[in-house]
Structures are given as C-alpha cells and as structure tokens.
C-alpha cells in the first residue's frame, strides 16, 4: 500500500495560514500597522480604497529594510523579532510569528518599497499569490511602503464572504483606533477613497482619546493612576452618567497591545457597581504594564487574548484603582466623617458668651377689641397704636338661611346630597365585563372560545410598533412632533456617521435633524408619542444594533431601524397596564400582518385549549 501523507506545497500552506491571520481587510491593516510600529516609525499613513477590498497601503518613516531582508520578509516564519524560544517570554514587539507578510502575499497582489537611511537607493518588490513577479532598485523615501491590492483575488469564495463597504470600513476603523490609542507618541493619518478620516499628531494620551472620540469626551474622563510591583495602571475611565448601551469605548492595552479580557472587564464593572443603570456599560481606556515574563501572548492567532500568571491579583488591583479614582474625584458617593468648616465658630467670637434672645409680650393686646372699646393695642416700647380691627361678627353677615320657618333651601339640600349620586355608576357589571387581565405585569391573559390566550406584552408591542414604523418609512408620511427646546446630542464621529447613513429613514419615521456638526447633532422633532427623554436612548440603541448587526448590501437598513426603535419604545415587562390598554394592545396585535412572532422571530402569544387545561387536572 502506498504512502498517503505528503508535505503541502508552500503556496498551499501559505493560503491555509492566511485563513488564520487574514480574515478581512481589517486584519491586513492590523498586521501592517504593527510592522510599521516595530520598524521604529513615528509617522504612519494608512490609505484605503473600497474598504480595503481594492487597496490597503501603509506608509511609514521607519528604519526600512535591506535588499535581502526585503526578499526574506515574505518567507514563512521569517522574523527579526526573535531568535530563540526563550525570546518568546521577553517580547516587546508586535509581530513575531513571521507569518503575516507571507500569508498576505499568498492571497493578494503586494507591492513593497523600502529603503534604509544608510542606503542611497531602495528596493521594490512585486508579488502575486506568493509568486515574486519582479524585484528592482527603486528611488523611494526612507522607510517602507506596503500596498496590498485585490485581497482574496485567488480565493473567490472567501471574497464573497466579505460584507458591504460600510461594514468592512467600520472594522478597519476599529483596528486603527486600537493601534492609535496604544501609541499616542506616533502621528497617524487615515485616508479612505481620497478623503481624510483621521489626522492625529503626536500628543499625550488624553489628547489622543479626545481627538479620536470627539471633544465632548474630555469632560467624561476620570484619570486612573496606580503603580505596584506587579502592575502599573494608567489611563482613564468614563463618568457613570456618560455610560452607554454599547461596549464601543472599552479598551485594554497590555504593554501597548490591545487585548480582550472578559475577566478584567468584570473588574471594571465591579468597581462601577451601583453607579450604572441596567444594560449600560462603562467606558475605559486603560494601559496596563506588566513584566513580559508573566504573560503569554501567543495563545491566539490574532494576539488579542493574553494569558496571565496571576489574574486574581491583577483583578483586585484594577478594581481597587478604578474605585479609588471614582471616589477621589467625587464620582462615587463616599462617607465623610470629618466636620465641615462651615459649622465652626468664627475666631472673633471665640471668647464671647452666647446671648439669649429676649421675647416681649404685650399682655393687654386684644385682637377682638372694638375701636370704641377701652382695650387698645399699644406697643409699650414705641408707643405705637395698632390699626383698628374690624368687628369679627360682621364676617357672618348675609350667611343666614333665607328660607322661612328655619327650613333649609332646596338647592342647598341637593348640593349636600351630591355625593349620593355616585351609587348610580357603582354597578358591578364594569368589573365583570373585563375580557383581559394582566399576569405578573408581563403577560396579558384573555379568553377564547376554545380556551385561553396568553400574550407577551413586550413582544406584542414590539410587533405593533415595528409594522407601524415600516409603514411610515414606506409611505414617507410620518407625523412629527416639534420640540419646544431642540435637543443637542453629542456623538463620536463614527457614531454620527452611522446616524447620518440612516438619516433619511429616521426622518421618515418622524425625526427632524438640524445643525449637524462633526460631533453634535441637534434634534428639533421626534415621532408622535416618543418622549423627549427617550430620544438619546433610542439613538444609542440604534447605534448599538447597527454595530452588532450591520446591514450589508442585501439587507434593508429601514428594517433594522424599525426593529431597533420598536425594541426601545415597546412596553417593558413589569409595567402595569390598565384594562383599556390591555384590550387595545390585543386588538392592535391581531390587526398586524404577522401577529404570531415579534420582529426578532420570537412567539408573541401562546394558546391553551380547554382540553389542555383539563389534562392538567387528570
């Protein structure tokens, strides 16, 4: 029998490796930016076309590469970062696996131009699908320029799995934020289809956060500083009142590397315990510095997960540091047992005895005395005569009954007996006419000819609102309620772009916007029935839904908007409904085109037949 195990060709192995390293254009952006940082660059430019599908180019002013290094950089497991296995426990660089460029070159067209400061001329290399097409001497600035074109050109199935340009650009922007936040000492520029999205100069950490997320972020930040033998913490957390329903502003950096850690995230949540509303998450931008020997960053291909030697200690230190900062800056409520200086006696009164106030009473004063009487009200100190008091009996003049023989007037009698008329309406038939009742402030129970109907009030109302919003967006004739005082809401540039992409559909539901700037949005009108206090919540929920379920080319943005608004405005479980409200909701639900399921395809009601109920008693 012949042997069946064989070595894979290099180009096949590279394509398999690319499946781990390169999942979408954002993966290419991450790898190229990290290589530029490792090259010692202090100015990095990112150029994107068609959300990275056509072009991803990173230009830096780093130390560049020699002719040999430029050629070897595209070989598998070729790296300048480590030489022995022991170096894996002393990593201070970003890329060290030596697979990034080889994997990218296997699935795209790559143009590399590089030059060292000591060289007069640089090197230019063109690669298509792991095959070197050309290698020449070129005139190029000091540093390196890597242009990745036509990503997944030789893997059509993988290219078809890419989302719309809006989705892919959002992933690229997220990766850019993570790298730029970790390195405020490096200047970054970001261009998409010829337009500048970000231009970040060299600055301190607070300025970098504000430049990325908008000027209004500055007032939201609370500094966190802590240094121990095990861990050094620096950065900022957001004030509780600015918490969001999304986790878009949560960043952990360990040794200037972005990571995801649910365990450490729980430490932050524990520090904010009691300060946040349900469903809201704190914002944080925290840098953690630890000994490289105590972490393992090679447990995940994308290197976004890290294994710590002692997570429990880090958890306790992080939680205490954040809680201390919230208390130090009077964000969290604290108990202060020190006496306030406002209650102290002034120094000039130190030797003075307390003076008891005196009260003088004029015992001869009679408020009912007539002016003609002998009793007069005179102030003994000022000899002032008080003004005369009118005869108090005159207050009752004209109030005697005008009827004869001391009998009460008929009109007065009817007025006194008005409270007896309520017995006319106290018929018990009102109670017996109920067709629905509420169960545990969550379900509406109604009777059927064949048994019983149980409706989930939250899902049912979502279905009703969802179809109403879709109808308004279709006919484009929604009624708007103008606000007396316009609302000015602050958003990050990325969040504002999401709202502007959906602006037309939002206006068809009844929203009216004006004065849109780079960071603020003024709302002058809302849909009828939407309270003013819910506007920011609705828009935040919409942004959250778009970020987690972004509509691609074959998905309706109007549908997503209708679902999001219905979820925000629907009656919540635990809300008491009057009998008329219950009946109106039931009637509205069964007037819908699809009353059986909610907008998220969950059942809105169940039925129990009389036979099912009888079986329970068998």
pLDDT at 105: 87
460-506 tens-digit pLDDT: 999 998 888 888 777 766 778 888 888 888 887 778 888 888 888 78
Task: Give whole-number Cα distances, 303 to 31, 33, 287, 297, in Å.
Answer: 11, 14, 17, 6
Torsion of CA 521, 524, 527, 531, to 10 degrees: 90
436-459 tens-digit pLDDT: 888 888 899 988 888 888 999 999
**Nearest-angstrom CA–CA distance, 252 and 286:** 5
Query: Residue 412: is its pLDDT beyond 70?
Result: no
Listed in order, the ranges of the chain carrying CATH 3.30.1370.100 are 443-606
Does domain 212-328 correspond to CATH entry 3.30.230.10? Answer: yes
Torsion of CA 533, 248, 169, 104, to 10 degrees: -170
Considering the chain, what is the average pLDDT of its residues? 79
Calculate mean pLDDT across residues 389-399.
Answer: 59
3-state secondary structure string, 302-342? CCCCCEECCHHHHHHHHHHHHHHHHHHCCCCCCCCCCCCHH
Q: Beta 257-259 vs 250-254: how paired, if at all?
A: antiparallel
Would you call 131 exposed, middle or buried from its count of C-beta atoms within 10 A (0-12, 13-18, 19+)? exposed
**243 band by pLDDT with thresholds 50, 70 and 90:** confident
**Measured CA angle at 186 (ends 76, 170), to 5 deg:** 70
Would you call 359 exposed, middle or buried from its count of C-beta atoms within 10 A (0-12, 13-18, 19+)? exposed
Going by the DSSP 8-state scheme, the letter that residue 508 receives in this structure is: H
* Highest mean pLDDT out of 181-195, 507-521, 525-539: 181-195
pLDDT at 432: 35
Query: Residue 391: is its pLDDT beyond 80?
Result: no
Range in 131-135, 169-173, 295-299 with the lowest mean pLDDT: 295-299
pLDDT at 29: 92
The neighbouring-strand residues paired with 523 are 487, 513
pLDDT at 201: 92
3-state secondary structure string, 57-106? EEEECCCCCCHHHHHHCCCCCCCCCCCCHHHHHCCCCCCCCCCHHHHHHH
| Percent helix / strand / coil, the chain, rounded to 5 | 40, 20, 40
CATH placement of domain 443-606: 3.30.1370.100
Percent of the chain with pLDDT over 70: 78
Going by the DSSP 8-state scheme, the letter that residue 53 receives in this structure is: T
Residue 398's φ and ψ, nearest 5 degrees, are 90, 0
Edge-to-edge order in the sheet of strand 512-514? 480-490, 520-527, 512-514
Please provide the DSSP assignment of 386-412 as one string.
PPPPPPGGGGGTT-S--SGGGPPPHHH
**Nearest-angstrom CA–CA distance, 466 and 459:** 10
Query: Residue 92: is its pLDDT beyond 90?
Result: no
More confident residue, 30 or 423: 30
**346 band by pLDDT with thresholds 50, 70 and 90:** low
Predicted TM-score of the model (pTM): 0.68
- In terms of CATH architecture, what is 10-200? 2-Layer Sandwich (3.30)
Its sign, for the CA torsion 366, 370, 376, 382, is positive
pLDDT at 83: 59
59 CB-near residues (< 8 Å, 6+ apart): 44, 45, 47, 143, 144, 145
Range in 38-42, 61-65, 169-173, 420-424 with the lowest mean pLDDT: 420-424
pLDDT at 301: 61
pLDDT at 122: 92
Going by the DSSP 8-state scheme, the letter that residue 121 receives in this structure is: S
Calculate mean pLDDT across residues 533-550.
Answer: 76
Query: Residue 298: is its pLDDT beyond 80?
Result: no
Query: Residue 178: is its pLDDT beyond 80?
Result: yes
pLDDT at 183: 92
Calculate mean pLDDT across residues 545-572.
Answer: 71
166 CB-near residues (< 8 Å, 6+ apart): 51, 501, 550, 552
pLDDT at 370: 63
Would you call 23 exposed, middle or buried from its count of C-beta atoms within 10 A (0-12, 13-18, 19+)? middle
607: nearest Cα among 438, 447, 439 = 447
Phi-psi region of 548 (alpha: psi -120 to 50; beta: other; left: phi over 0): alpha
Listed in order, the ranges of the chain carrying CATH 3.30.565.10 are 10-200
**599 band by pLDDT with thresholds 50, 70 and 90:** confident
Query: Residue 15: is its pLDDT beyond 80?
Result: no
* Highest mean pLDDT out of 1-10, 141-150, 467-476, 609-618: 141-150
Residue 55's φ and ψ, nearest 5 degrees, are -155, 135
* Highest mean pLDDT out of 246-250, 361-365, 590-594: 590-594
pLDDT at 440: 86
pLDDT at 112: 92
**Nearest-angstrom CA–CA distance, 493 and 121:** 41
**Measured CA angle at 300 (ends 296, 304), to 5 deg:** 80
Range in 11-20, 221-230, 349-358 with the lowest mean pLDDT: 11-20
Listed in order, the ranges of the chain carrying CATH 3.30.230.10 are 212-328
Helices and strands of the chain, counted as H and E runs: 18, 22
pLDDT at 430: 37
Calculate mean pLDDT across residues 315-335.
Answer: 80
Q: Is-contact 250 265, C-beta < 8 A?
A: yes
Going by the DSSP 8-state scheme, the letter that residue 385 receives in this structure is: B
More confident residue, 190 or 353: 190
Calculate mean pLDDT across residues 274-287.
Answer: 87
Query: Residue 433: is its pLDDT beyond 50?
Result: no
Range in 59-73, 139-153, 402-416, 552-566 with the lowest mean pLDDT: 402-416
pLDDT at 124: 94
Residue 346 CB neighbour total at 10 angstroms: 7
**49 band by pLDDT with thresholds 50, 70 and 90:** very high
């Amino acid at each position: 029998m012949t042997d069946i195990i064989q070595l894979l060709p290099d180009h096949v192995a590279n394509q398999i490796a690319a499946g781990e390293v390169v999942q979408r254009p954002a993966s290419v952006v991450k790898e190229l930016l990290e290589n530029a940082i490792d090259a010692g660059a202090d100015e990095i430019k990112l150029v994107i076309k068609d959300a990275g599908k056509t072009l991803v180019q990173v230009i830096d002013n780093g130390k560049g590469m020699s002719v040999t290094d430029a050629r070897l950089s595209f070989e598998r497991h070729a790296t300048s970062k480590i030489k022995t296995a022991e170096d894996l426990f002393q990593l201070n660089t970003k890329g060290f696996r030596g697979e990034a460029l080889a994997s990218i070159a296997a699935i795209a067209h790559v143009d590399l131009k590089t030059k060292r400061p000591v060289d007069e001329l640089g090197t230019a290399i063109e690669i298509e699908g792991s095959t070197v097409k050309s290698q020449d001497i070129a005139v190029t600035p000091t540093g390196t320029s890597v242009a990745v074109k036509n990503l997944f050109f030789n893997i059509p199935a993988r290219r078809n799995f890419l989302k719309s340009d809006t989705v892919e650009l959002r992933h690229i922007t997220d990766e850019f934020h993570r790298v730029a936040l970790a390195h405020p000492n490096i200047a970054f520029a970001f261009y998409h289809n010829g337009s500048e999205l970000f231009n970040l100069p060299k600055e301190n950490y607070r300025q970098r956060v504000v430049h990325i997320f908008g000027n209004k972020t500055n007032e939201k930040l609370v500094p966190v500083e802590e240094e121990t033998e095990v861990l050094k913490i620096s950065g900022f957390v957001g004030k509780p009142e600015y918490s969001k329903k999304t986790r878009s502003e949560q960043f952990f950096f360990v040794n200037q590397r972005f990571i995801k850690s649910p365990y450490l995230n729980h430490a932050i949540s524990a520090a904010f315990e009691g300060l946040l509303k349900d469903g809201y998450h704190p914002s944080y931008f925290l840098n953690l510095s630890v000994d490289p020997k105590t972490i393992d960053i090679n447990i995940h291909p994308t290197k976004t997960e890290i294994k710590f030697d002692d997570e429990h200690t880090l958890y306790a230190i992080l939680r205490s540091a954040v809680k201390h900062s919230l208390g130090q800056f009077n964000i969290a409520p604290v108990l202060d047992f020190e006496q306030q200086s406002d209650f102290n006696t002034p120094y000039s009164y130190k030797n003075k005895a307390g003076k008891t106030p005196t009260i003088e009473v004029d015992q001869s004063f009679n408020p009912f005395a007539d002016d003609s009487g002998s009793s007069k009200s005179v102030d003994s100190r000022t000899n002032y005569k008080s003004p005369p008091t009118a005869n108090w009996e005159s207050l009752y003049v004209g109030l005697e009954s005008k009827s004869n023989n001391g009998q009460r007037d008929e009109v007065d009698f009817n007025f006194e007996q008005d409270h007896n008329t309520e017995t006319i309406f106290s018929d018990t038939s009102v109670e017996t006419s109920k067709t629905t009742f509420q169960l545990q402030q969550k379900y509406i129970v109604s009777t059927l000819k064949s048994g019983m109907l149980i409706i989930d009030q939250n899902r049912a109302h979502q279905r009703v609102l969802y179809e109403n919003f879709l109808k308004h967006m279709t006919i484009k004739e929604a009624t708007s309620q103008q606000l007396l005082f316009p609302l000015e809401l602050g958003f990050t540039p990325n969040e504002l772009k999401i709202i502007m992409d959906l602006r037309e559909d939002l206006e068809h539901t009844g929203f009216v916007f004006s004065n849109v700037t780079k960071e603020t949005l003024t709302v002058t009108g809302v849909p009828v029935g939407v309270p003013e206090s819910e506007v920011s919540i609705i828009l935040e929920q919409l942004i959250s839904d778009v970020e987690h379920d972004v509509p691609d080319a074959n998905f309706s943005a109007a549908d997503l908007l209708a679902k999001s608004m219905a979820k925000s405005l629907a009656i919540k479980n635990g809300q008491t409904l009057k009998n008329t409200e219950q009946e109106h909701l039931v009637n509205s639900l069964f007037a819908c085109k699809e009353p059986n399921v909610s907008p998220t395809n969950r059942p809105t009601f169940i039925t129990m037949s009389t036979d099912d109920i009888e079986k329970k008693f068998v």
